Amino acid sequence: TAYGLSDTSVPVINVDTTPGKSFDLQQELGRAQVGQTIDFDPPGTIITGPIKFHQKSPVTVDGQGGTIWSTSGPVVVIESGEVVLQNLTIAVIGKTPSATATLETAIEVKPGGKVTLRDVTVVGKTQGLATNEEAWRLPGQLDLGTLKPGTQKFKLRLAIGEDVTFVSDLAGLIFDPSYLPAGAHEVDVTLPDLYDGTRLRGMVLLKSSNISRKFDVIGRVNTNGKDWGGKIIWEPADWSTVSKPAPPPSPPKAAQPPPTPAKPPAQPQPPKPVTSEPTKAPDASGPTNTDAATPAPASNPPEIPKKRNVVKSDGLDESVFG
């Protein structure tokens, strides 16, 4: 049979994907039970998308090195449910230089869906993944054109959304640096020992923890070819924008002193009580206050004029006081 459970204790559906066999991955997803795994058999199978996941129960698809592809995107859509994709390449294949973001999307996760990626390679964009999707700027295909024999050096300008390591199956292809943190970068690329008549065809992977981005490299070698001489061979159209360094963070504002609280209105003070000090009795020994007024001494009684007799010439006595 084309489909079947390999072991009741391990929920795996082995799908016969041999060319010429009838196969419908979408149908198998509808039949999947809780926690089942759908394996591609034989490994390395290529399946045409798009494929939509709207699962009521969790499911795992193990491509065993296989590929799901389409000439336009999205190729795989997770509309609902929990899905695990592993050992799989999901690719938009086709020359669409002026395509919209939707047409270039390889994986799209809707708000009701959840996906876990394990060793998955993506050719195209992603939507709905927590991978800083808007930051990525990669060539869909890097065409080197016709190169002169010998060693060729050129530069790539890329923007990436997470830390990656370069891996390539093209013999001798060297990236410097081979590891890049998230951001915009200019990378030196070297292709040594190119011989006349050689055709170049390979791929470049930018590998992160669970997902890899991929682009193809093609070219040919001829004595009449071009020597790039370390020049820039590719950059995104908006390089001048994405390569600008992020503005430095604004310095923290100095702490402002708290406002001085307004003084409460003055409360009216009660009138002070008037107190009278008792009059002290004079000391028997006499006053001690030197500042006290000294009583004026008693005035002498007026002198009584003495009477004297004045004898007038007429012989009469006249009393005169004075």
Q: Residue 195 has what pLDDT?
A: 95
What confidence tens digit (pLDDT) does each residue in 268-288 have?
A: 777 666 665 555 555 555 555
- In order of 101, 153, 219, 223, the CA distances from 197 in angstroms are 37, 19, 11, 8
Nearest to 161 by CA among 203, 122, 124, 130: 130
- Please state, as a whole number, how many other Cβ atoms lie within 10 Å of the Cβ of residue 141: 14
Using alpha carbons only, what angle is made at residue 247 by residues 242 and 251, rounded to the nearest 5 degrees? 165
Model confidence at 227, pLDDT cuts 50, 70, 90, reads very high
Task: Tell me the pLDDT tens digit for each residue of 4-56.
Answer: 323 334 444 444 445 444 456 777 777 777 777 888 878 888 888 889 988 77
pLDDT of 120 strictly over 80:
yes
- What is the average pLDDT across 208-214? 87
In the predicted structure, residue 68 carries a pLDDT above the cut 70: yes
Q: Report pTM.
A: 0.63
The reported pLDDT for the residue numbered 282 is 55
Q: Report the CATH fold assignment for 132-236.
A: Immunoglobulin-like (2.60.40)
Q: What percent of the chain has pLDDT over 70?
A: 70
What integer pLDDT is reported at residue 27 of this predicted model?
Answer: 75
pLDDT band, very low/low/confident/very high, at 240 (cuts 50, 70, 90) = very high
Q: Residue 25: enclosing H or E segment and its boundaries?
A: helix 25-31
CA distances from 110 to 29, 114, 271 (A): 17, 8, 82
Torsion of CA 184, 190, 195, 200, to 10 degrees: -30
Does position 80 have pLDDT exceeding 80, yes or no? yes
Q: Where are the domains of the chain?
A: 1-130, 132-236
Q: What are phi and psi of 239, to 5 degrees?
A: -55, -40
Mean pLDDT is highest, among 49-58, 90-99, 212-221, for 212-221
Amino acid at 195: Y
The closest of 77, 21, 29 to 49, measured between CA atoms, is 77
Instruction: Tell me which amino acid residue 31 is.
Output: R
